[in-house]
Structure 1
Amino acid sequence: MNEIDRYETLHAAWRWEVPPRFNIHTVCCERWAADPSRPALVIEDEAGNVGRHTYAELADAVERLAAGLRQLGVERGDRVAIVLPQCLETVVAHFAVYRLGAVAMPLSMLFGPEALVYRLVDSGARVAIVDAEVRDALAAVSSQCPALAATVVVGGRAAAPAEHAWQDLLASERDGNPVADTLPTDPAVLIYTSGTTGPPKGALMPQQALLGNIPGFVASQNGFPRPGDVFWSPADWAWTGGLMDAMLPTLYFGQVLVGYRGRFSPEKAFELMARHGVTNTFLFPTALKAMMKAVPSPRGQYELRLRAIMSAGEAVGDTVFAWCDKALGVTVNEMFGQTEINYIVGNSCEDWPARAGSMGRPYPGHRVAVIDDWGEPLPPGELGEVAVNRRDRHGDPDPVFFLGYWNNPAATERKFSGDWCRTGDLAICDEGGYLWYKGRSDDMFKAAGYRIGPSEVENCLVGHPAVANAAVVPKPDPDRGAVVKAYVVLAAGYEAGAALVEALQLHVRGQLAPYEYPKEIEFIDALPMTTTGKVQRRVLRLQEEERARAGGVSG
């Protein structure tokens, strides 16, 4: 394993250079369009159709769409919903909105009517750009969204007075208006948090948030870009992970971005990476686990060019970490961040040693600490909440911060303790500055007086060949308060039974503390997941509480 450690040198030398004027469209699209042949996008669909697009083509489409949106009344600061998959139109829509100085509000294609209404009403979105597949869902609730003046349909014809076909809008003549003269602190993106701990909140991101993500992106992708770098990730471009960790930083550096409009599968992931020469990727731990179980020896089946893998969302764990190193020949760089303050902590294996299971160290430009309930930094070895300071080690403002929660100043205020922005995630920092994730503050629980971090038990379970995925939650117990319970998704070829339960319990007891092994194991077909690939332990925890109230017995 690489033991080169340039961390302190890199961190000490980093200084933020935020220009007085900054627009995401200008830096990610317009500046590369002068070269008419520079490739930008490769988009493949489930049928195997592949489209290739240059930065010049992007810039032309962006200018035309911006003119069309201006005709629909979109003005600076207006929110524009974007409900699209990984496709050309998603990139064009984002850049057109930034060009106007408006605010892009990406929404998942998986959202149902209720989720759409909540976000459209709360944001006061003026226009929605939607895929034909979700038009009906939006049309059914558009009357409940008084601010929504128009809908732009991609891949279909306009079927109502307030609807406009994408192709018709793209046929608009350029109106000669320049790119909006935006400040780095002007709003650019409104992304709603997943709402796992309450109603979704809209995090308003400034233009400069992209700059705040760049040092972490470069480090986690092992010095991106290098000549010939090609990036792909299955992360939905409607979320921070897909937008700020994949789409925008790749285009910021003028490299090729691969998009896939289709369902994720381990085999398809390997096929895409091999076919399009992908060198860099972001893969959720859940995706890596599925790939490890489905294709244990991928280099024997696929010609891969991978040189860097970033992973985030959950802890990767020793088993998956070791598999990537051996089977893919790539050391995973784990990363930690959240919508409000993204790409703040992680690894960069070519610049400092990656520690299996560690979140990593604070990326250059970010001052990160583990703090107590009163907002004071804790010494190494003590459990606390990960937080980021508004200013870096040099005293300069960190551009990674969100502007605040949309129309929710009280929630914004609660997010901070002085200049420290709280993440809600618990960790321990060791003497070397590495952070070790211990779970969400609301995921931690006590069983028989012991504090349990579910991710450690889950990662241990996944290390057993019979386990494809696992989630650990407390099960109410009248004598001990709670006992450790595991929900397990089996790998192909294994059957549930008492013998397997005992084998899994012995597996955990042999590697962790005796009090951490699951007293009960329930086998299920799939874990409840967010659309960003995170396990919804809260759903399972509430299920256990409901069962306890009803006096039921889980199996």
Structure 2
Amino acid sequence: MRGGGAAEMGADGACGNATGWFVDRHEREGRGERIAFIDPWRRLTYGALQDQAARFAGALLAAGLRREQRIALILRDSCAFPVAFWGALRAGIVPVPLNTLLPPALLAALVADCRAGLVLISAPLYPALAPALAALTPQPTIVIAEEDAESLPAGQRSLSDFLASAAPAPLVATSPDEVAFWLYSSGSTSTPKGTRHVHASLRATYETYGRQVLGIAPDDVMFSAAKLFFAYGLGNAMTFPMAVGAAAVLLPDRPTPERVFAVMQRYQPSLFGGVPTLYAALLAHPALSHGAGSARLRRAISAGEPLPEPIGRAWRQRVGVDILDGIGSTEMLHIFLSNRPDDIRYGSTGRAVPGYDLKLVDEQDRELAGVAEGELLVRGASAADGYWNQREKSRRTFLGEWTRTGDTYARDAEGYYHYRGRADDMMKVSGIWVSPFEVEAALVEHPAILEAAVVGHEDADGLTKPRAFVVLKEGVTVSPDLIAALQTLVKERAGPWKYPRWIEIVADLPKTATGKIQRFKLRDLR
């Protein structure tokens, strides 16, 4: 077997290390020549993935990294991602995929927070991040995923050279309950939280949603517009296809309608994963046709934010397949509540995915029976091990076997769940959590702004976007240039998807007697 590892495994190939089942099993069972991943530059077979992951594991060990240490992956979606992810797990080292859309300073802060000994970064992302990474102490090893032959920055070590620097490493036997990887979640505050997941959680998401709801099969080709550094995208484009020996198409760039249609037409995927914002954009595009460009498309899925009923129905009518709307979380790793192929009710998020239990609770955490509305809690095998260095937040979120979602839901008489909003002030924009505090903090950096408050507001498609209310400093007058400058500032400070689509100038903000902003009053303004 390529890369060794037989001595680390039982006679049936079983091993607590998830790499044994997701990667090595395919070579052992004769699927090594099947295509696993396709990006714009190459196709990677399961056999080649096993070999390169083993070499990446060996190179990590040769570079001085040891079991349970972390490495940061700042990668666009390409074949480099699965090579690095599974290579790290193979060596018992913990990969930490990071959101490439975050500002450089915040990305560097997360590299420091997880104490990464090595950073693997896509070449096009490196120039903007180089100064922030160079300021870190201690300095992590930097490796550049060149992606194509033209993109390697001068003087930097490439992933190709790194893979060639050491012999393949054998598979390290781990406990199924050993921490395998982290994903950062913004959660219910603006402070990112390192969410720790164990090896067994990866297979658990396949056995529940991937097998019983999505119904992925070996001959499927999956295309996920949601990126691999998100829990949703990680399952869509990696865990689920690899569970059955299927293929995934990876798009490194932002999933604009034009790029999505190009992928659909070229690779003819049978499964597509997106978020409601993207579905709305695709529906508004004149190029949308039956199958969204793929004659093989048989199923589309959605998560990240609630899917408005009109979007689901319009997609079904124009594309010819349903959208299975569901909800998951970084803490649960993938979808635990969803519509199903034989049980679709647009306007609802469906019912519990087999393998998960749900309950609604009131403000005192008392369970609510029957038709009810309350905060949603979930129980299942894919729950995270906890947050890194955030003990109080771990205690508030992980309640024994149950995980607090922070979402408010209504359950109807037939057991279907209907989204009612966040239990706090968070909002989801394009499938990504946005804290109003982050946006407000960026707005008040502008010298013209005295105070700011941000709430979620639905656009014409029923999708939530940030809406800002700002109080100007005395003597400042509003102008189109000021509005544009404020939006640009938020994009630069907080992230490009977080900017307020609407900015309202107000004389003052509604507040409590103690000075807290009453956002619920702002939400009611039309």
Could you state the TM-score of these two structures normalised by the residue count of structure 2? 0.78
- What does the per-residue CA deviation read over 1:99-130, in whole Å, with 9 as the maximum and x for residues that have no partner? 01111100122232211222111111111111
Change (3 A) 1:74 1:152: same
Q: CA deviation at 1:95?
A: 0.8
Deviates more, 1:237-246 or 1:325-334: 237-246
Counterpart in 2 of 1:520? Answer: none
Does the 8 Å contact 1:105/1:189 carry over to 2? yes
5 Å-filtered alignment, 1:258-273, equals 258-273=249-264
Change (3 A) 1:301 1:376: closer
Equivalent of 1:127, from 101, 118, 126? 118
Does the 8 Å contact 1:62/1:93 carry over to 2? yes
5 Å-filtered alignment, 1:163-174, equals 164-174=157-167
Does the 8 Å contact 1:313/1:533 carry over to 2? no
Q: State how far apart, in whole Å, the 1-side matches of 2:426 and 2:69 are.
A: 40
Does the 8 Å contact 1:380/1:428 carry over to 2? no
Instruction: Look up the SS of the partner of 1:130 in the other structure.
Output: strand
**1:77 equivalenced with 2:68 (yes/no):** yes
Instruction: Look up the SS of the partner of 1:424 in the other structure.
Output: strand
Gaps of 5+ in 1: 1-18, 45-49, 390-397, 446-453, 464-468, 477-523
Q: CA deviation at 1:136?
A: 3.1
1:23 partner letter: N
**1:182 equivalenced with 2:142 (yes/no):** no
Q: CA deviation at 1:525?
A: 9.8
2:38 partner letter: V
Q: State how far apart, in whole Å, the 1-side matches of 2:491 and 2:303 are.
A: 15
5 Å-filtered alignment, 1:176-255, equals 177-194=169-186, 197-214=189-206, 215-221=208-214, 223-225=215-217, 227-255=218-246
Change (3 A) 1:382 1:59: same
Does the 8 Å contact 1:112/1:137 carry over to 2? no
Q: State how far apart, in whole Å, the 1-side matches of 2:20 and 2:189 are.
A: 36
Instruction: Look up the SS of the partner of 1:109 in the other structure.
Output: coil
Could you state the TM-score of these two structures normalised by the residue count of structure 1? 0.74
1:210 partner letter: L
- What does the per-residue CA deviation read over 1:327-355, in whole Å, with 9 as the maximum and x for residues that have no partner? 111111111111001321111123xx211
5 Å-filtered alignment, 1:460-479, equals 461-462=460-461, 471=465
Counterpart in 1 of 2:54? Answer: 63
Q: CA deviation at 1:388?
A: 1.2
**1:381 equivalenced with 2:371 (yes/no):** yes
1:462 partner letter: D
Q: CA deviation at 1:131?
A: 1.3
Instruction: Look up the SS of the partner of 2:363 in the other structure.
Output: coil
**1:404 equivalenced with 2:377 (yes/no):** no
State, as a whole percentage, how many aligned pairs show the same letter. 27
Q: CA deviation at 1:418?
A: 5.0
Does the 8 Å contact 1:210/1:249 carry over to 2? no
Instruction: Look up the SS of the partner of 1:134 in the other structure.
Output: helix
Change (3 A) 1:544 1:213: farther
Does the 8 Å contact 1:121/1:145 carry over to 2? yes
Counterpart in 2 of 1:346? Answer: 338
Q: State how far apart, in whole Å, the 2-side matches of 1:252 and 1:417 are.
A: 30
1:251 partner letter: M
**1:27 equivalenced with 2:42 (yes/no):** no
**1:287 equivalenced with 2:287 (yes/no):** no
Q: CA deviation at 1:201?
A: 0.8
Gaps of 5+ in 2: 1-12, 428-454, 471-485, 511-521
2:381 partner letter: P
**1:110 equivalenced with 2:101 (yes/no):** yes
Q: CA deviation at 1:43?
A: 1.1
Q: State how far apart, in whole Å, the 1-side matches of 2:89 and 2:205 are.
A: 17
Q: State how far apart, in whole Å, the 2-side matches of 1:39 and 1:301 are.
A: 23
Q: State how far apart, in whole Å, the 1-side matches of 2:312 and 2:496 are.
A: 18
Q: State how far apart, in whole Å, the 2-side matches of 1:335 and 1:533 are.
A: 25
Deviates more, 1:277-286 or 1:142-151: 142-151
Q: CA deviation at 1:229?
A: 0.7
Instruction: Look up the SS of the partner of 1:261 in the other structure.
Output: coil
Q: State how far apart, in whole Å, the 1-side matches of 2:335 and 2:412 are.
A: 20
Q: CA deviation at 1:69?
A: 1.1
Change (3 A) 1:417 1:32: closer
Change (3 A) 1:374 1:531: farther
Q: State how far apart, in whole Å, the 1-side matches of 2:370 and 2:85 are.
A: 42
Deviates more, 1:321-330 or 1:97-106: 321-330
Counterpart in 2 of 1:308? Answer: 299
1:37 partner letter: E
- Aligned-residue Cα RMSD (Å) equals 3.6
Does the 8 Å contact 2:291/2:297 carry over to 1? no
Q: State how far apart, in whole Å, the 2-side matches of 1:159 and 1:139 are.
A: 12
Does the 8 Å contact 2:282/2:288 carry over to 1? no
Q: CA deviation at 1:277?
A: 1.8
Counterpart in 1 of 2:33? Answer: 37
Does the 8 Å contact 2:357/2:378 carry over to 1? yes
Does the 8 Å contact 1:380/1:429 carry over to 2? yes
Deviates more, 1:141-150 or 1:30-39: 141-150
Change (3 A) 1:113 1:536: closer
Q: State how far apart, in whole Å, the 1-side matches of 2:93 and 2:226 are.
A: 24
2:404 partner letter: R
Q: State how far apart, in whole Å, the 2-side matches of 1:25 and 1:548 are.
A: 56
Does the 8 Å contact 1:471/1:535 carry over to 2? no
Instruction: Look up the SS of the partner of 1:425 in the other structure.
Output: strand
Q: CA deviation at 1:192?
A: 0.9
How many pairs align? 453
Does the 8 Å contact 1:220/1:310 carry over to 2? no
Q: State how far apart, in whole Å, the 2-side matches of 1:203 and 1:101 are.
A: 17
1:189 partner letter: F
Deviates more, 1:256-265 or 1:436-445: 436-445
Q: CA deviation at 1:362?
A: 0.8
Change (3 A) 1:248 1:547: farther
Instruction: Look up the SS of the partner of 2:144 in the other structure.
Output: strand
5 Å-filtered alignment, 1:6-17, equals none
Q: CA deviation at 1:533?
A: 11
Q: State how far apart, in whole Å, the 2-side matches of 1:88 and 1:258 are.
A: 10
Counterpart in 2 of 1:369? Answer: 359
